[in-house]
Structure 1
Amino acid sequence: MEREHVGEVPKTRSASPLPWGTAVATNSSSTSIAWVRRNIKGLCCVGGKKIDDTETVLPLSHAITAGAEASVNRAYLSRTSVVYVFCVACLFFFFSSCMYRIACIGRAHHEELEVNLQRPWAPYHWLGSKGVDVTDRQCYYFVVAIPQYMPYIIVFLILSRRLRRHGASRTVASVKGSATPSVGEKKEFSGSSASTAHPENVIGDCSAGSSSVSPTRLVRKDVSALQLLHIIAGISIALCLCGPNFLFGVVMMLLNFYLIAPLHKKASLRVSMAVMWATHVLVLLVIHHAGGYQFSWFGLGGLDNLWVPLIPWTTQYNMSVLRMISFNTDLWESVRCGEEQRQKSLSKHVRTCIACAQIRDQHHHVVTSLPPEALSCYKCRTECSRHVEEFTLRAYLGYILYLPLLMAGPISSFNAYLSYQHYSARGIKGMAIWRYGFCLLYHVVLLATLIHYVPIMAILLTPAPSASGEAEAMSAASAIAAEEAALARSGSAPVVTTSSSLASIALQKVSSASTTPTAAAAVTVSVLEQMVATEKACLFVLTLVFLWLKFKVIWRFFRFVALLDGFDPPEDMPRFFFNAVNIQCFWRDWHASFNLWIVRYMYIPMGGSRTKSLSVFPIFLFVAVWHDIDLRLIFWAMLMCIALILEISITLFFSSKRSLVIRMKRFPLMWRTLRVFGSQLALMALTLGNLVGFSIGATGTAGAVQDMFREMSFTCKMVTLCTYLCAAVISIQYKDQNAYEKHQLHIKYDLQ
C-alpha cells in the first residue's frame, strides 16, 4: 500500500501506463540498462566527493546528467506546460478570492466579531489589521506561548545532547576495551541473568531473540541517564499543562507496564493482543463516561484545584495510549523473533529502501565504520526489533514522556525511540535542519497573517448578539482573559496548548443555518447566517485550509525540536491537503506518523492487504474513538469506510488485466481523463467528509450542500467543479513525477 505510486512506473522499458506522458518511453536494450546501473554511482563521486545533491530527491536535471534518460523517458505532465501553469493559476485565483471575500466580511462585521478578536500583534497593527482572531484557543496559545516555552526547550536540548555525547563516548570505550568475554561474563549476559541488574525493570524473557553474548547491557547503561532526563522533563511539563490529575495517567502507564506488557508469558500472541486492545479501548470509554478522574473521589479534593490546567490530562493520555500499544507490540515481537526480524528488516532496506540508500550515500566515507542501523531510515529503525533487555521501565517511561513529542507528536515507535538514542539521525543534519527551521518560520508567518486578516474561526463561532448587545455565550477572548487571570493568581505562566486530536478544534458546535436563541430575549442573526451560499462555501473551504496550516505549524515545530535532539520522526502533512490523488493518499499525508502507526500496529496484524476491505472498519472506528467519543465522529468514520471500500473496489478493477482496462490504457487521453475525474470525485468526497467529522456535522453539511445547489448560480457551480478539476490535475502530476523520480533513484542506487 505504501509503495502503490512507485508501481505505476514499471521497471520494464515498455510503453508507460501513465496517461500524463508527453512521450512514450522507448525500449532500451538490457545492455544499456545494465551499463546505467553499473556506472551511475561512479558518476556521483569523483575523488571521494559528491557531485550532485541527493539529500531529498534526485532532481530531474541530475537524473539526465547521470545518463538516466537512456533508460526511462519522462512520463508525466511538465511543470512548465500550459495545462499545469493554467491549473496552478486557477487554484491561486480561487483561494485568493476566497480569502479576500472572507476578509471583507470580517472587516464589514468587525463590531459583531470584536468579542473574539484581540489587539493585533506587531507589526500587524501597523499594517492595517483590526484584530487577531483568538477563537481557536489551541492555535492562539501555541503562537503566543512559544517565546515562554523556548527556554525550557533550549535547556532540555543542551542537557540531552550532552548526555547523548557522554553516553556515546562511554559506549565506544567499553566496546573497544572489552574483547571476547570470559565464561563468567557470558553467564552474566545470557539467559535470565538480566534480573540481576534491574530485576524490577525488565519484563521480557531475555533469552528470547538474543544471542549468548549481547552488548546491549553496556549500551543500555549508557543511555539510562538520557532516559531519566526524558522522564523528569516530560513529567514536569505535563504537570504544568495538565495539572496534578496527570498523575492518573502515570498510574495507568504503570499498570500497562506491569499487567498488560507481560501477558506474552502466560498467553498466546492473539490472546495478548485481544486483551491489550480491549483494555485500552475500554479505559478510553470509561474516562469519557466519567469525565476524567478526580482526586476528590479519594478524599484529596485539594489537589484538583492547585492550579488551572490549560488542557485536560485525558488529551495527553490519548497520545500515551498509542505509545503503550507500541511498546507492548514491539516487546512481543522481540520475544518471538527478535534477531531474525532485525536481520530481515536490515536486509530488506539495504536492497529496496531509497531513504536508507540516500543516507549511505551522504555518509559514504563512514559506511564501513558504522553499523547498518546507524545509517538507516525511520521505517527501518521501527521494523528492527530491539533486544529484550532494553524493554525496561526507565526506557518505557522515557519513551512515553519524551518532551519534544509528548503533547502533539509526531507519533513514533518504541523501537525507533531506542535506536535514535544509540545512533542519532543522519538523514537530515547540519544546514538541512536549519533550512527546515526557516521553512517552519515561513508557515508560522503565514498562520499569523491568516488569523490577523481573515477571521475564519470568529465568523464560524461568534454567536448572534442579543437585543441588548451582549453575546449569547462567553466569547473566546473573554475565556482567554479569564484563564490568564486565573493563571496569574496561581503563579503559573501560560504555556503552549497543543494537541493532535482533531476533535479538540472549536468547530464542534457550529451549524450552517441557525444558532440557538436565548430564552426571553430578541436575537438577531449571526454573521454566519447573514452570508449567502457562495460565501459559506468559501468559508468552509478556508476552514480546512486553516486546520491544515495550524496542525502543520504545530507538528513541524515539535519535529524540528526532535531533529535538533538527533531524533527524526516522520513528517506529518508533507504536502497540501488539496494535493491528494485519492482518499488513501490523503490519510497517508494528513497525519502521516499516525498512519504509519496504524499500518504497523493495526493494519498488518489484522491481515494486511488480504483483508484490506474489512480492516478499514475497525481502523476508522478506533480513530474516531481515539479522537473523541462522539456520534458525529462515528458517523464520519462510517462515511470514510464506505468511501474507501468503493475506492478500493474501483482501484482493483482498473489495476486488473481485463480486456476493457487494457484497451483504455492504450488511449492516453481517455486514461488520463478517467484518472483526473476519479481524483476530482475523491477530493470532493474528502471535503464533505471532513466537514461532517471535524467542522459543521452531518446536519450542517447536508443543509449547506442543499443551500449551495439551491442558491448558487450556474457559473459558481462550474467554477467550483473547475477548481476541483485543477486540483486533481496537479495532484496527479505530483504523483506521476514522484513515481518517475523514485524510479530514477532505484536505478541510481541499484535497488530492487
Structure 2
Amino acid sequence: MTILTFVRELYSLDTLDTRFTPSSTPQKSVNEDSSKHGTRDGKAQTQPAEASPPRWRTPEFYLYLVVFLVCVPQMYWAVVSVSQPDSPNYSKYEHLLSPGLFSWKVDNSDAQYAGFRNNIPYLTVLLFLHPSLRRLYELYTSSAPPASDGIAQSTAHGQAAADARLRSRLAFDFVSALIYVTALNGTSVLKILLILLINFKIATALPQHAIPVTTWVFNIGILFANELARGYPYSVMGEAIVPFFPAASNWGKFLDSYGGLQPRWEVLFNFTVLRMISFNFDYYWSLGRSRAGSPLEKKQLDPSTLSERDRVTMPAPASAYVSFQTYVAYVLYPPLYLAGPILTFNDYISQSIYQSPSVSTKRTILYGIRFLITLCCMEFLIHTAYMVAISKCSPDWSVYTPFQLSMLAYFNLHHIWLKLMIPWRFFRLWALVDGIDPPENMVRCMSDNYSALAFWRSWHRSFNRWTIRYVYVPLGGGPGGGSGRLRGIGNMLAVFTFVALWHDIQLRLLVWGWMVVFFVLPEVLLTMAFPASKWKTRPNAYRIICGIGAVANILMMMAANLVGFAVGMDGLTSIVHGIASSWHGALFMVSACAILFVGVQVMFEHREDEKRRGIRLKC
C-alpha cells in the first residue's frame, strides 16, 4: 500500500461513517458487494448521467488553485500576526493564555474545550479500560451453545446467542453506567435517577394518548428547571424542610460535598434529555406497530444485517421497553453520556443484539488516526492563533484592519467547529471500540459549506437527524407545494426554537435560531425561482448564479453563528462597523466576496466529483 492509497482510505467516507451507503441496503451486503465489485465508499463506481464532466484540469480551476495558494496562508497569518506579544490588545488577554509546548503560549481560554482537553489522559484510560472490562465480563459469563444439527435448530441457537448477547451487554451497561455517572456527578446521581424514573413512568404508566404531550412538557420543563434551580443543590432543598427536620441543612451540605468529578451535572444533561425523549417516543410508536405484527417477518429481513434505517424505525423487542434497567443502560451509556453522538433507543437495542457489520477493527483504527490528526491540528491552532482570548477580552476592535477583523471572526468559527468535533469524535471512537456504531456528527469541514440547509444537516448530524425524527416529521415536515412550503418554514422555526433552548436558555441563542431560519428563506425562495431543471442548457450561467447566492449564504451563516456561539450581537456589530466604516473596508468586502466565490466553485466541483463516484451526501 502506497502512502497516497493509505491517505485516500484514511479520508474516505467509508472510514468516516458507513451510513453514507444506501440506507435501504443491509450493511453486510454493501460491504460484500464493495469487495467483490471494487466499489468505493460503498457506492457503485458508475458515473450518473446528471454529473458534469470534470473541470479540475481546466484553466479556470488552475486559476482557482493559484488563488488558494496565495490567500489561505495570508488568512492564517493575519490571525497569527495579531496574536504576537507586540500586537494591539495583547496586554488585555495575556492573562487568558497558558504555558504550552516548546515554550509557546497556548490559548486554552475556552472553558468548554478546556474541560475536555485537560481530561484527555483520563478519558483515554477509560476508552481502553471500559471495553476491556466488558470483554472480560463476557469471557467469564458467556457459555458456548451446544452444536446444532439442522437449519431450524441452528436458527434457534442463533437467536439464543443474540438474546444472550443482549442480556450480557445490557447488564454490563447498567452497572458500568451507574459507576461512571456516580464517579462523574457524585450524590447528584440520585437526582438524575429520579428524573429518569419519572420520564420512564410517563412512557410506561400513562395512557397511550397522553405520552407524547406529557413527554414534551416534562422534558422541556426539565431543561428550564435545571437551569433555573442550578442542579437542585441538596443544601437548598434541606433549608426548605429545616422547620420539619432540623438536621436537613447539615445533611444537605454533606451530600453537596460529594459532587463527583463534575459537580455541575445539569450542564451536560441536555444530551440525556434527548435520549429520554427518544425512548418515550420509540416506545409510543411501537405500541401502534405491535398490533400489525413483526416487521422483520413481513419484510423477510435478516436481523443481523439490518440497515441503519431499519434499526432506527423497527421497534425493539417488547421486553426492552418495560425494563427500567434497560432504559437506564441506554440513557446513561458511558461512551455517549456526556456529549453524544445521539443514538436512538431502537438503534441501541438493535446493535446490542447484533453488532453492526460496519464495526471493524481496521475501520476503528483508521477512525482513531483521523481523530489524532484532528487533535494535533487543534493544538497547532491554539498554540499559534489566539482569536478566542482576543474575543473574550472586549478588545478595541478599531485597531484591527478589516481583513484582520474578518479573519479573527472566521478562525473563531473554525475553533468552534474543532472544539465540538474533537469531543464528539473521541466519544464516538470510544463507542466504536466498545462495539456500538453511533452516527458521525461532523460530516464536512466547516469551510466546505455554502448552503444553510446542507450546513445544518452536516453540523451535529446526529442531533439534526434526531430533530427530524422526533420534532420536524411529527409536526408535519415540509412537503412540496405553496402551503406545504410555508408549513415547512413554520416547522423549521419551531425546530430551531427548540434547538436554541436545548443549547442554553439565553436570548442570544434564540436570536441565533431565528436568524438561521430567516437566512434559510432566501435559499428556499431562490431555489424555487431558479430550478436546476430549467438551466440544463446553460450550466455555466447557472453555476455562476448559484455561486453568487452561495456567497451571500456563507456571509449570513457566519453572522448567525458568530452571534450564537462566539462574540454575540455586540461583537458582531463591532466587527461589521469596523469593516464598513472606511473605503478600505468596502474594498476588502468586495475582494472577500470574490475569493468566497472561488471557494464556492471549488465546493460545487467537489460535490460533482462525489456524484461521479456515486456519492450523495445531501450536504
Query: TM bucket by the smaller chain?
Result: 0.7 to 0.9
2:606 counterpart of 1:734: yes
The answer as to whether partners of 1:572 and 1:593 remain within 8 angstroms in 2 is: yes
2:393 counterpart of 1:393: no
Change (3 A) 1:220 1:301: farther
Decide which of 278, 299, 302 is 1:326's aligned counterpart: 278
Change (3 A) 1:421 1:461: same
Decide which of 129, 136, 148 is 1:155's aligned counterpart: 129
Q: Distance in 2 between matches of 1:551 and 1:678?
A: 28
Aligned to 2:78: 101
Aligned to 2:110: 136
SS in 2 for 1:437: helix
Deviation digits for residues 246-305 of structure 1, max 9, x if unmatched? 431221011111234433xx242xx42122112211221222222221111133222112
Deviation at 1:689, TM superposition (A): 0.7
Q: Distance in 2 between matches of 1:386 and 1:165?
A: 26
Q: Distance in 2 between matches of 1:280 and 1:581?
A: 34
Aligned to 1:355: none
Deviation digits for residues 101-135 of structure 1, max 9, x if unmatched? 221221224555431222223xxx0xxx5211120
Change (3 A) 1:77 1:715: farther
Deviation at 1:175, TM superposition (A): 9.1
Deviation at 1:740, TM superposition (A): 3.6
Aligned to 1:52: 38
Deviation digits for residues 128-175 of structure 1, max 9, x if unmatched? x521112013323323322222222212111224556778865x6599
The answer as to whether partners of 2:148 and 2:157 remain within 8 angstroms in 1 is: no
SS in 2 for 1:442: helix
Deviation digits for residues 74-125 of structure 1, max 9, x if unmatched? 415434444345435534644432321221221224555431222223xxx0
SS in 2 for 1:287: helix
Deviation digits for residues 404-456 of structure 1, max 9, x if unmatched? 11101111100111111111121241322211111111111101111111112
Aligned to 2:228: 289
Q: Distance in 1 between matches of 2:313 and 2:137?
A: 26
Aligned to 1:379: 309
Deviation digits for residues 323-357 of structure 1, max 9, x if unmatched? 0110011111111114859638995xx9xxxxxxx
Aligned to 2:11: none
Deviation at 1:529, TM superposition (A): 5.8
The answer as to whether partners of 1:133 and 1:455 remain within 8 angstroms in 2 is: yes
Structure 2's unaligned 5+ residue stretches are: 1-28, 239-247, 480-486
2:518 counterpart of 1:646: no
Aligned to 1:302: 254
The answer as to whether partners of 2:341 and 2:441 remain within 8 angstroms in 1 is: yes
The answer as to whether partners of 2:355 and 2:436 remain within 8 angstroms in 1 is: yes
SS in 2 for 1:578: coil
Q: Distance in 1 between matches of 2:466 and 2:260?
A: 33
SS in 1 for 2:588: helix
The answer as to whether partners of 2:199 and 2:218 remain within 8 angstroms in 1 is: no
2:410 counterpart of 1:541: yes
Deviation at 1:641, TM superposition (A): 1.8
The answer as to whether partners of 1:243 and 1:308 remain within 8 angstroms in 2 is: yes
Higher CA-based Rg = 1
The structure with the greater share of residues assigned to helix is 2
1:235-250 counterparts in 2 under 5 A?
235-250=178-193
2:581 counterpart of 1:601: no
TM-score of the two chains, using structure 1 as the length reference: 0.68
Change (3 A) 1:114 1:88: same
Deviation digits for residues 191-221 of structure 1, max 9, x if unmatched? xxxxxxxxxxxxxxxxxxxxxx999898555
Aligned to 1:710: 581
Change (3 A) 1:84 1:546: farther
Q: Which residue identity does 2:282 align to in structure 1? A: D
Deviation at 1:648, TM superposition (A): 2.5
Q: Which residue identity does 1:144 align to in structure 2? A: N
SS in 1 for 2:82: helix
Q: Which residue identity does 1:631 align to in structure 2? A: L
Deviation digits for residues 23-79 of structure 1, max 9, x if unmatched? xxxxxxxxxxxxxxxxxx9xx98xx97362534545xxxx3xxxx46x748415434
SS in 1 for 2:448: coil
Q: Distance in 2 between matches of 1:372 and 1:76?
A: 40
Change (3 A) 1:261 1:698: farther
- Over the matched positions of the two proteins, sequence identity in percent amounts to 23
Change (3 A) 1:76 1:233: farther
The answer as to whether partners of 1:323 and 1:400 remain within 8 angstroms in 2 is: yes
Q: Distance in 2 between matches of 1:637 and 1:624?
A: 6
1:293-692 counterparts in 2 under 5 A?
293-296=232-235, 297-298=237-238, 299=248, 300-307=252-259, 309-310=261-262, 312-338=264-290, 343=295, 372-391=302-321, 392-462=323-393, 515=394, 526=395, 530-610=399-479, 611-655=487-531, 663-692=534-563
The answer as to whether partners of 1:295 and 1:303 remain within 8 angstroms in 2 is: yes
Deviation digits for residues 659-699 of structure 1, max 9, x if unmatched? xx765442222211122122222111100111111112223
The answer as to whether partners of 1:346 and 1:373 remain within 8 angstroms in 2 is: no
Q: Which residue identity does 1:224 align to in structure 2? A: R
The answer as to whether partners of 1:346 and 1:372 remain within 8 angstroms in 2 is: no
Q: Which residue identity does 1:281 align to in structure 2? A: I
Q: Distance in 1 between matches of 2:581 and 2:303?
A: 60
Q: Distance in 2 between matches of 1:603 and 1:540?
A: 31
The answer as to whether partners of 2:187 and 2:260 remain within 8 angstroms in 1 is: no
Q: Distance in 2 between matches of 1:443 and 1:743?
A: 24
Aligned to 1:26: none
Q: Which residue identity does 2:499 align to in structure 1? A: V
Q: Distance in 2 between matches of 1:538 and 1:224?
A: 53
Q: Distance in 2 between matches of 1:176 and 1:301?
A: 64
Q: Which residue identity does 1:234 align to in structure 2? A: A
Q: Which residue identity does 1:287 align to in structure 2? A: N
Aligned to 2:211: 272
SS in 1 for 2:269: helix
Q: Which residue identity does 2:215 align to in structure 1? A: M
